[in-house]
Amino acid sequence: MQKKWMLAMGLILFLLAGGWLMNDDKKSLAEHADRTGHYIGSAVRFEPAFQDEKYQEILLREFNHLTIENEMKMAAIHPEKDRFSFDRTDELIELAEENDMEIRGHTLVWGEEIPQWVYEQAVDEERTKQVLKLHIQMLVERYKGRVNEWDVVNEAWNDDGTFRENFWYRMMGPSYIPLAFSWASEADPEAVLYYNDYGIEKENVKAASMFNYLNKWKREGYPIHGIGVQAHLDAADPGISIEEMKTNFAKWGQAGFVTAVTELDIKLQNMGEPRNERLDTQAELYGDITAMCMKESSCQGVTVWGAGDAESWLISQESEKAEPLLFDDNWVEKPAYHAVKKSLFSARFK
């Protein structure tokens, strides 16, 4: 009798668990991420966000964190010396706020997307400092308390570990990097300030040089809070290593930095396998990277650089066969979507 009772109870529990798991699978990525204490983010551009209803529906349902992809870059938001163009950014931020999504500002200082007036005005080191400080502080002050994270400096190192000789470096030397963080912090002391770059997901000379400088400046008192790994990856690259990424995140976390995966996409056009195998490889990488972030105490979340393949920057710049994101060009969930969801779900019970 007791054995039958135990078997019956086991069957009931199994059926209840199955129903619970099925119901849980219907939850969005954002709902799962919320329960882990992390975010799952997406880069967003103005036109599709307001012109494509399906895109907006998926964006608002599946993600709890937005990075403004283009509209905050210097040429877009500060096109003339005495004029900021805030309209598009304002609308994107309002959309996020109305849907309880946190916002990442991108990017305050970059060697590209510099408007012509800067070259005309910033003719020596002192005037370059004035131009850059004004730009940073006007932007950060406007969105103080609304944009909680900023990519302050973007892509400042070469692959060989030397400083990238962009305009800011030529005019100010490497000091533009820590100064930018100081100016941003003066404008909003509560904001979390990141350095952001590609190619640093590996244990290489670029990642080592970047970390050594950032750590030195941090110890000197500059408010450099976080390191963002872009992770624009090629599924055909045999050198992708989740273990190396994990090692870097752990090392940076031990030094007092928060970390994040900030621009994740995984392109497929260079793989020769059948499409279903390519998609499976992509899904495994997406799932493993998400799981790595969930396990590393310094990692705040994962941001995918877009949502659907049709909206990806890679389609226009590289190949229509890139297929780098979580949804296909008809907004159908790909295996990568389910792999990310599985990793988020699993993290809830660790």
Tens of pLDDT, residues 225-275: 999 999 999 999 999 999 999 999 999 999 999 999 999 999 999 998 999
What residues does each domain of the chain span? 28-233+240-347
Q: Is the pLDDT of residue 21 over 70?
A: no
* CA-to-CA separations, 256 to 209, 252, 259, in angstroms, rounded: 17, 7, 10
| Catalytic positions, written as ranges | 155, 263
Question: What confidence category does residue 3 fall into, taking pLDDT thresholds of 50, 70 and 90?
Answer: low
- Of the listed ranges 198-202, 228-232, 248-252, 309-313, the least confidently predicted one is 309-313
**pTM to 2 decimals?**
0.92
List all residues 6 or more positions away from 171 whose beta carbon is below 8 Å from its beta carbon: 122, 124, 125, 128
CATH architecture of 28-233+240-347: Alpha-Beta Barrel (3.20)
DSSP H helix total and E strand total for the chain? 15, 9
Over residues 277-294, the pLDDT tens digits come to 999 999 999 999 999 999
CA nearest 56: which of 263, 331, 255? 331
Residue 159 and residue 199 in contact, taking contact as beta carbons nearer than 8 Å: yes
Integer Cα distance of 326 and 120 in angstroms: 43
Q: Check whether 20 has a pLDDT greater than 90.
A: no
Which sign does the torsion angle of CA 15, 18, 22, 28 carry? positive
Task: Kindly give the interhelix angle for 242-254 and 205-219, rounded to the nearest 10 degrees.
Answer: 10
pLDDT attached to residue 347: 85
How many other β-carbons are positioned within 10 Å of the β-carbon of residue 1?
5
Confirm if 139 and 183 have CB atoms less than 8 A apart. Answer: no
